Amino acid sequence: MLDMRLIRENPELVKQGLANKYDTSDLDKIVTLDEKRREIIRQVEKLKGQRNKASAEIAQKKKAGESADEAIAAMRQVGQDIAALDDDLREIDQELQTAMSWLPNLPHDDVPVGKDESANRFVREWGEKPQKDFKVLPHWEIGESLGILDLEAAARLSGSGFYFLKGLGARLERALYNYMLDMHVADGFLECSVPVMVTTETLFGTGQLPKLAEDMYKTERDDLYLIPTAEVSLTNVYRGEIIDHTMLPMYMVAYTPCFRREAGAAGKDTRGMIRVHQFTKVELVKIVRPEKSLEELESLLTQAEKVLQGLKLPYRVMVLATGDLSFASAKTYDLELYAAGVDRYLEISSVSTFDDFQARRMNCRFRDADGKIHFPYTLNGSGLALARLIPAILENYQNADGSVTIPDVLRPYMGGADKIG
RNA sequence: GGAGAGGUGGCUGAGCGGUUGAAAGCGCUGGUCUCGAAAACCAGUGUGCCUUCGGGUACCCAGGGUUCGAAUCCCUGCCUCUCCGCCA
């Protein structure tokens, strides 16, 4: 949620930010609603003041045994006026709230302005693309031939867009998330195991709702959504609370399945594990003091990079253009992992800062040392997505004989195995 | 899933139609005292909104309703606890 005060006092700045994000919300309407809202509040509170005064007098008279009939009769109309104004206010509040809830976060000044991913800016790269003297098979082929990935079985069970790992394939997934969790925990992240079904309010808090309703799975009977990312469960942990400043910064990590309908992505990446409805991911979330958020963003990026460096997988860092930023994000780095079989870069991590946008939606605040209350800043980053990591390993670590070498750091997690096949 | 009890400030806990934003205790902050600390004593200690910056107004799980007036009465929902059932 954006700060209404900022919109009121500096609408042009907000408009420019929205324009850079290619958002078409009607800000003038919001400004008008806000003015109307405050006008009604002024009126109704004046009346309520009168009523409170009169009520006290009525109470006095009754206590003294005098008749208060006249005063009561006089207040009847005031009561009705208040009720009518309260109705108006409720309506306007609702309208304003709805309009506000659709406003995306504003991008930072240093985010490149551009319509889509073609405007994303290269930041740096790490590692070498693997040089192979044979044709590297895409992960769905090598996975099938090694008997560790059974996409047919997944389709039998759930239709398209799912994967079924077995044997060392499933073991590889387990090795990866144990490796990542151990690394992040060692680096100070609090390990969490969290609900993957959450309420509307929770999804509103991180900004998935109302805009992305179509992209998520919902259990209609119970009104719960399956999380598209553990960001949702972790970030909302203190929704509606005022926490103490000594609890900041909070670093959290969770391994969960993630569920995405991929409603708008029909026909894209239909083969293999690259774009599926259910995948697992290790997610990192930080809740920090506002003034620390920029350095925390950089260190979160570094944390995600550390996983890829440990696995010796080549990647590049991109900073997303304004038009490619997610609804809630103020600045996002993407980590793109080169996969030799599909011969392209795969987005494997998205590291973002949300400033106070999510904290406002969650109404999560912290009490500072001086007693003042502020919104903390929230950040998150994948650390990392398993359904992209596994293909990359199957492709980049592929050998001419059709086997796949297991990265050194994973071997202790693989029962000592050094290759698959 | 069935039966019952209950949701009040950071916590415990009173209040059950009229100066109650809310007693009391604990905690916390500041002060006195002390070489220092503890104890004791004194003072302070919720959040949002509106504001002509004097104040005003709202909030006692959430949303409706009754009333001149609701923390208090009524309805709906959510959550917690106890017992039973089911269950990894």
pTM over 0.90: yes
- DSSP count for chain A of H helices, then E strands: 12, 16
Q: List, for residues A153-169, the tens digit of each pLDDT value.
A: 999 999 999 999 999 99
Average pLDDT on A197-225 reads: 91
- Provide the CA A68 to C1' B15 distance, Å, integer: 26
Indicate if A365 belongs to the active site: no
CB of residue A221 closer than 7 A to nucleic acid strand B?
no
Q: List, for residues A279-312, the tens digit of each pLDDT value.
A: 999 999 999 999 999 999 999 999 999 999 999 9
State the average pLDDT for chain A.
Answer: 93
CB of residue A54 closer than 7 A to nucleic acid strand B?
yes
User: DSSP state, A119?
Assistant: G
CB of residue A57 closer than 7 A to nucleic acid strand B?
no
Residues 6 or more apart whose CB falls under 8 angstroms from that of A283 comprise: A229, A230, A231, A234, A253, A254, A255, A256, A380, A381, A382, A383
| Helix, strand and coil in chain A, % to nearest 5 | 45, 20, 35
Alpha carbon distance A391, A398 (integer Å): 10
Q: List, for residues A13-23, the tens digit of each pLDDT value.
A: 999 999 999 99
Alpha carbon distance A238, A255 (integer Å): 19
- Provide the CA A115 to C1' B36 distance, Å, integer: 66
> Which value does ipTM take for this structure?
0.88
pLDDT higher than 80, residue A30: yes
Contact A197, A225 (CB under 8 A): yes
